């Protein structure tokens, strides 16, 4: 809400772009958190595979440095975010294609489609901003936020499933949708252990805590 307030203020006052900067920094930190949490250890140097906290600390330090540098040239932030988000989407698509769970695969396809629509919306808003303002339709940026929110949630669900299955292939996970199971295309996805009462689930949850 705070970033949206500043964003609308920056649209009214061109010389004040703190809202846009805050908006992009928030998305950047979400991406960095995703890399820190979900990037498999096989992609890390050998020394970081055992001590993953080094990689997490590295992500935090890089995020802090880039956040400070973004103040110097904020106009490059949006394009840097796209370059950072593209490998994450490609990684998710590659590993989802190898998954044997067809519901996860369908969710991955919808996630890619939603992300593509979101990026297209952002590009249209970025390039043709003056046109949309002239026809009194300054809502594309809001639509971008809604679309990227849902696609980000889907990415988190898919990566969570893939990471758990990679580390514990015997884990029984089910994909569900809120508020109703039949709302596969419009519901909010989440994963759940098939049997929360079995000993493996209890031990795994304790280990995660």
Tens of pLDDT, residues 43-88: 888 888 888 889 999 999 988 888 888 777 777 677 777 778 888 8
Within 8 A by CB and 6+ apart from 150, the residues are: 114, 188
As for how many domains the chain has, the answer is 2
Residue 192's φ and ψ, nearest 5 degrees, are: -145, 145
pTM of the entire predicted model? 0.76
Q: Which of 37, 61, 85 is the last residue of a domain?
A: 85
Nearest-Å Rg of the Cα atoms of the chain is 19
Same domain, 61 and 138: no
Domain-located, residue 94 = no
Residue 122: count other Cβ atoms within 10 Å of its Cβ: 20
Domain-located, residue 75 = yes
What local confidence, expressed as pLDDT, does residue 203 receive? 55
| Joined tokens for residue 139 | 């809502």
Q: What is the mean pLDDT of residues 126-135?
A: 86
Same domain, 174 and 118: yes
**Is residue 177 helix, strand or coil?**
strand
**Is residue 193 helix, strand or coil?**
strand
Same domain, 74 and 129: no
What local confidence, expressed as pLDDT, does residue 208 receive? 45
Could you read off the pLDDT of 164-192 as tens digits, one per residue?
888 888 888 889 999 888 888 888 999 98
43/32 Cα distance (integer angstroms): 15
Same domain, 54 and 116: no
Binding-site residue numbers for Zn(2+) are 141, 145
What local confidence, expressed as pLDDT, does residue 18 receive? 66
Same domain, 26 and 59: yes
Domain-located, residue 91 = no
Domain-located, residue 166 = yes
Residue 156: count other Cβ atoms within 10 Å of its Cβ: 19
Distances (CA, A) of 27 to 9, 67, 84, 133, 152: 19, 11, 11, 24, 10
Domain-located, residue 90 = no
Domain-located, residue 131 = yes
Confidence of residue 2 (pLDDT cuts 50, 70, 90): very low
Same domain, 103 and 51: no
Same domain, 52 and 143: no
Binding-site residue numbers are 141, 145
What local confidence, expressed as pLDDT, does residue 37 receive? 87
What local confidence, expressed as pLDDT, does residue 157 receive? 93
| Joined tokens for residue 67 | 């956040």
Same domain, 119 and 179: yes
Q: Where in the sequence is the domain holding 138, given as residue range(s)?
A: 99-209
Of 106-120, 124-138, 189-203, the range with the lowest mean pLDDT is 189-203
Bridge partners, 175 (sequence order): 191
Indicate the average pLDDT of the chain: 80
**Is residue 168 helix, strand or coil?**
coil
């Amino acid at each position: 809400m705070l970033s949206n307030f500043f964003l609308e203020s920056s649209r009214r006052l061109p010389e004040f772009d703190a809202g846009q900067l805050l908006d992009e920094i928030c998305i950047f930190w979400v991406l960095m958190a995703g890399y820190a949490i979900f990037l498999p250890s096989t992609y890390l140097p050998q020394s970081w595979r055992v001590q993953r906290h080094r990689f997490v600390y590295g992500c935090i330090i890089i995020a802090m440095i880039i956040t400070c540098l973004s103040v110097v040239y904020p106009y490059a932030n949006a394009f840097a975010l796209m370059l950072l988000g593209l490998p994450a989407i490609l990684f998710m698509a590659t590993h989802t294609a190898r998954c044997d769970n067809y519901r996860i695969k369908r969710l991955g396809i919808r996630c890619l489609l939603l992300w593509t629509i979101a990026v297209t919306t952002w590009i249209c808003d970025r390039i043709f901003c003056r046109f949309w303002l002239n026809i009194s339709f300054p809502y594309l940026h809001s639509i971008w936020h809604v679309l990227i929110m849902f696609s980000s949630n889907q990415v988190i669900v898919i990566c969570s499933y893939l990471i758990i299955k990679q580390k514990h292939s015997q884990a029984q996970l089910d994909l569900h949708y809120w508020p109703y199971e039949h709302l596969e295309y419009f519901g909010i996805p989440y994963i759940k252990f098939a049997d929360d009462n079995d000993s493996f689930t209890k031990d795994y949850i304790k280990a995660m805590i």
